[in-house]
A and B are shown apart, each in its own frame.
Chain A
């Protein structure tokens, strides 16, 4: 209860001034991590700068070659947007797994990134979809790949005065799709013990032209496992290729043992999830029923 001050700026410029003045300020998007952190004593901002009244952070723009998702748009709005969930069903799966309906009403993809939990659900899905982060700071803007945004548990590449404005996703082209799966003991209201995001592009014969595989909750941050994607490229996603991808993610995983799962289990199950996510994305491209 040490928050002394709250401001809700209407523009990026105002926001940066408000943040700089604050000295110990926190950005607020959906608040589903920040307010829990304040409650449990792990966060102690003196000023809160709300981002939800800044148009750029609340916009969803579908353009000819890319989709821009404002960093503070709620998961609920992303899921109900007429094209976002259709274009990126795996990202939609990830967003729909964050917390509860109530949490999804507030939480945002940008917040999920900035909170930088190793177990964040949306990050592997964003990595699989080649998302980039548009960052704005006093010295101007920069764009970095989403896999480089989180650098460690609760640590991001943001400078102290920088702000994540939006996520930019290339528009999918050709026969492609994605999938995200995670393992939690409960069906909902849980934190991933392991997560796997996969994107696939196939040619008309079912041969894999491109693939990205990303894993969550098995390393200090979500990882892009390029070897796993490469294991699939050129294959027809035969079981052998899938198993090569599984071996690659298990080799890449560097999990810890904690209350949510042992390192051994996480390594085991992330492979299971990657194999299933590959099959799921493939089934989506083929127009098969997803179970």
Chain B
């Protein structure tokens, strides 16, 4: 991957370098698409609030290989001088260079932005922004290891909501999120990267299970409307499970502190 030329602010390597090419790539991909759990099962979740001591609130989430750290700073004063009655939510996503199979050169690309928008959408309607006029809440997300973009968006939304709760920011409810992929005629929940690549379409659902409200749905690829609704239903069921994990981890963190 080419480095951004002449970046004096970093230690630069050679002008060009390439990801190694393996002689048995196809075999490897076939091996990875095999699913070791049932179609309706999600990967085990490890969630720990409050790991980042410098932040107002934080959460670390691990779903099998996917590892994401999230920190909330603020609310702080908005920099722009125009008056706004509602607070702003600022979501920034960053991939570590070693988070994907190919190295990501440390320049902001379009994927960070689109991920940030999806996560923003998933959590923004849960926060009582009307309580923070002229203020901005910063949510910073670092993806340490990525195993499927869909799973990353879902896990990062859960982590962001947990971190916001840890920061003591008023919300209507905790957000949980789950993803699904159509593989053949089956619905596989929480697909890994190889599974998502082999699928014909994906759905990511974010909701507030306590209020039985949906905050964001993101469907891509082709599938029948029936299938999409079925995916959403399955995701919603899992979101209720995830919600209890989030609530439990927050409760344990509070009682330990």
Are A and B associated in one complex?
Answer: no
A residues in contact (CB < 8 Å) with B: none
B residues in contact (CB < 8 Å) with A: none
